Amino acid sequence: MSTLVFLEHHGHELLKGSLGVLSKAAAFADADVAGVVIGSKVRALADQAGKFGAPKLYVADDARLEAPLPQPRVDVLAQLVRDKGIDTVLFGNSVLAADVAAGLAARLDAGLNWDLADLVQQDGKLVGKRPALQDSVYVDVGWKSEPRIALFRSGSFDPVAAGGSAQVEDVAVALEDFSTSARMVDQAHEESEGPSIEDAPVIVAGGRGLGGPENFTLVEELAKALGGAVGATRAVVDAGWYPYSTQVGQTGKTVSPKLYIACGISGAIQHKVGMQSSGVIVAINKDTNAPIFEFSDLGVVGDVHEVVPRLTELVRARKAS
């Protein structure tokens, strides 16, 4: 098995999700593992790649690869997979990685299994473990041909610093015209504004079910009464109702408070990956079929506008007594 792990970076660090996948790949019995870093001035990342299990690192270093856009990365990977006879390409999920993986699947006519929670060798075959349909069923999936492409769900594996070093090989960069036609005008920078919610013991989170930005006072007051912080879904952050710094989920924060109260949140998989390790999860949603109830300790089928303010009052009364 000749395995390539896409190592995504931000600033001067490889992402934890990528490193987790790398450590997973390195642990396979017959692993012939290499990592690949694609960007501009990225050679220094080799140390980190080696430490987390890559004996070999391909480096595509080119000024045109500076912005984290997917299509030039597909060009580089397709060439590398062909040149080196790689049979398995692994990605940790992210906005960038998903677009790269799917572009590569089309370019190479290679099967892509996404949202995998694990990958195992079973009867000489590689089998992906795939939670599906709001995680109500676990599907064993595979590939009919090589190369195989896998995209792992965020947080599936912890990085293991085994402490090796990577032998670096530079790869040639040839880009298609269409791949370089999209241009990054302003790249996301770390947003430091707004409160930090990662250390809060209690998070009361609001979603689109609140009905409008003005109703966030409902969750703010409950959070205050419980001594906690306020969280939000991407839907309300994208809509400008609440700041990005409070977003929980795949592209927001990963939190594990003792108590997480979800108000008017459907429980999409991308939200779930950011809060599923909370101690106790309470959900209030008016739709009895909302996926959030599948992973709540207490689910309340009800209207947030009624239940939340009443709960705030009760908590206040209890604290006052």
From residue 216 to residue 255, the character string flagging contacts with another protein as x (rule: CB under 8 A) and all else as - is: ----------x-------xxxxxx----x-----xx----
Count, residues near ligand FAD per rule CB under 6 A: 34
Helix axes 95-108, 70-84, angle to 10 degrees: 50
Binding window for ligand FAD (CB under 6 A); candidates: 29-37, 152-160, 201-209, 212-220: 201-209
- Measured between alpha carbons, how far is 248 from 213 in angstroms, rounded to an integer? 17
Among 3, 48, 246, 250, contact with ligand FAD (rule: CB under 6 A): 250
> How far apart are CB 29 and another protein at their closest, in Å?
20
- Residue 285, binding choice from another protein, ligand FAD, none, Cβ under 5 to 8 Å by partner class: ligand FAD
Whether 296 and 262 have beta carbons less than 8 Å apart is answered as yes
Among 156, 234, 241, 311, contact with ligand FAD (rule: CB under 6 A): 234
Is 288 in a helix, a strand, or coil? coil
Residues 65-104 that bind another protein (CB under 8 A): 68-71, 74, 94-96, 98-103
Q: Please identify, using beta-carbon distances, which residue of 117 and 173 lies nearer to ligand FAD.
A: 117
- Measured between alpha carbons, how far is 4 from 141 in angstroms, rounded to an integer? 19
Residues 138-177 that bind another protein (CB under 8 A): 138-145, 151, 176
- Please tell me what DSSP assigns to residue 117: S
> Which residues, in sequence order, are CB contacts of 48 under 8 Å at separation 6+?
13, 14, 19
Q: Please identify, using beta-carbon distances, which residue of 56 and 271 lies nearer to another protein.
A: 271
Among 51, 73, 153, 271, contact with ligand FAD (rule: CB under 6 A): 271
Whether a cis peptide bond, with omega within 30° of 0, leads into 131 is no
Q: Indicate whether 199 belongs to the interface with another protein (CB under 8 A).
A: no
- Measured between alpha carbons, how far is 3 from 148 in angstroms, rounded to an integer? 9
Task: Write out the DSSP string of 220-282.
Answer: HHHHHHHT-EEEE-HHHHHTTSS-GGGBBSTTSB----SEEEEES----HHHHHHHTT-SEEE
- Measured between alpha carbons, how far is 32 from 9 in angstroms, rounded to an integer? 22
Q: Indicate whether 264 belongs to the interface with ligand FAD (CB under 6 A).
A: yes
Q: Indicate whether 3 belongs to the interface with another protein (CB under 8 A).
A: no
Q: φ and ψ at 236, to 5 degrees?
A: -80, -25
- Residue 304, binding choice from ligand FAD, another protein, none, Cβ under 5 to 8 Å by partner class: ligand FAD
Residues near ligand FAD (CB under 6 A): 95, 112-114, 132-133, 207-209, 233-236, 247-252, 264-266, 268, 270-271, 274, 284-287, 290, 303-305
